[in-house]
Structure 1
Amino acid sequence: MTVRWVTGFLDSPSRAAEPFWVAVTGWSLSARRGGGVFATLVPAAGDACLRVQVVGDGPARSHLDLHVDDIGEAAVRVVGLGAVEVADHGDVRVLRSPAGIVFCLVPWRGERVRPSGGVSVVDQLCLDVPAVAYEREVGFWSAVTGWAVRATDLPEFSYLQRPAGMGVRLLLQRVGGEVAGVHVDFACSDVDAEMARHVEAGASVVRRVPGEWTTLRDPVGREYCVTGRAPFSS
C-alpha cells in the first residue's frame, strides 16, 4: 500500500462557511457534485488538497482522505494495523483510527504537485490525539503512510516526513480530553498579519501563542490554526 496523496475535508452542516474558505485560501470552488454535497477548493497552481462537504449535522469538523491505488487492498492493510471500518461505499471506504480519527480511502487520480503561490498556504492536517492514545496513534499513522516520525522542539507535537511534492503534512498533537479529531493548519510568514486577514474574512480568535501560532474559528465554529511555519517548507 502506498499513500499517493492526502486531502483534507471540511465537513459542515451547511454551505455557510464555504465563501470564507475560498477567501482565506485564495482558491476557487469547483462545480458541486454528489447531488450538491461535495466541492473542491482548486488552487491556481498545483493539485487540490482541500475539499468541502455538507454533512447535514453538527458540529462542523474535519477529516482526511488517503488516496491509494487499490482501495480494497489498502482497507485490509489499515484494518490489520488497528483501524475499524465504518462504511464501504465502493469507491470510498470510511474508517476510524485506533484513537477514533475518521478517515477515508479513495482512488488516486494522479495528484502529485503541491499547491503554491500566495502569502499563505494550507500546510498541515493536525491529528489531535488524547494523551493516553498518543504513542499508539503515532505508530499507526506512520505504519499506514510509510512515513518516518520526526520530533519537533515541542514535546506535544511530532510529524510524519511527507514525500516530496505531497500537498499537506501530517502533524500529530498530544491533547487533553478523550476525543480525537483533525484540524487544518495554514503556514505563513507573518502570523499577526495572517490572523488579521482571517478575522476580517469572518474568523474569530480562540487563543494565541505569540511567535508560534494562533487558533481561530471559522464562521460555523470549526477550529483551525495559522502557524509561523514558512510557506512551502518541507
Structure 2
Amino acid sequence: MTLELVQVNFKARDDSALGRFWAEALGWSASSEGPGVTNLEPVGFDWPDPSAVCIDLVRVPDPETVKYRVHLELATTSEAHRTELVTRLEELGATHAGVGRSDAPWTVLADPEGNRFGVLEPSERYRDTGPIARVVVSCTDPRDLAGFWGEAIDWTVHELTDDHALLRSAKDVGPYLEFRRTPDDETGWNHIHLDVMSDPVDDQAREVARLEALGATRTDVGQGDVSWVVLTDPAGNEFCVLGRG
C-alpha cells in the first residue's frame, strides 16, 4: 500500500493573505508553486513525510458557495499556552465562531475567510503531533469512513465508536484524522479537503483503481485537464489523488 495523506487543501479568495495567517498561526514557512497557489509546511520539512500534514491554499472565485465538512484543531501544551494562542490568533485576524457548547474544552474560531477551526485544551495525546492536533471530517457514519480511510492510507484506528473514529499514521507520528458524527450531514464540495499521493507518484493510476474498489467514486468539480484525480469517499467527501505536476 503506497498512498499517503500529504496535505489539506483550502479553497481561498486570497491564497496569499490566508496563507500568511496560517503560516503565522502554525509557525510554518510559506512558498508558492505558481500564481493562485500558496504552500505551507514546517520549517525545514522534507515533503512528503507522515510527521506533518501540510496545507495547500488554492485561489478560487467564490469559495463561500461550498460546504464546511472538514476543519483543523490545534494542539496546546498548557492552559497558559491555550490562552496565549487564542489571543495571538485573534491578533492575526481570527474571530470567535460561537459554535458548539459554551462549556466545551476547546475554543472555536474562524480564520479571516471564515473557515472554522478549534484550539484544544492541553492533552498528553497531542503532545507530539505538531501544531495541528487533528484533521476533523464531519459525517453521519464514523465507523464506515474509518474502515474506508484505514484501508485507503493504511492508518491505525486508535478509537472507534458510533460517534467518532480516530486514526493516525501507522508510524505513530503527525496529526490524527478524526471522523465525527454530526446530526445534519451536508452535501456539496468541501471548502477544505484532503489530498493524498502515491509513492512512487507513477503508481497514481493503480492507487485510484484500488480506491474505487474500496468504494471511492470519480467526480467532476470542473478541474479540467490536471495531473490529479478528484474522487469522493463513500460519504461524499471530495479528495484528490495527486500526480506528477
The normalised TM-score by structure 1 is 0.49
The normalised TM-score by structure 2 is 0.47
Q: Which has the higher helix share?
A: 2
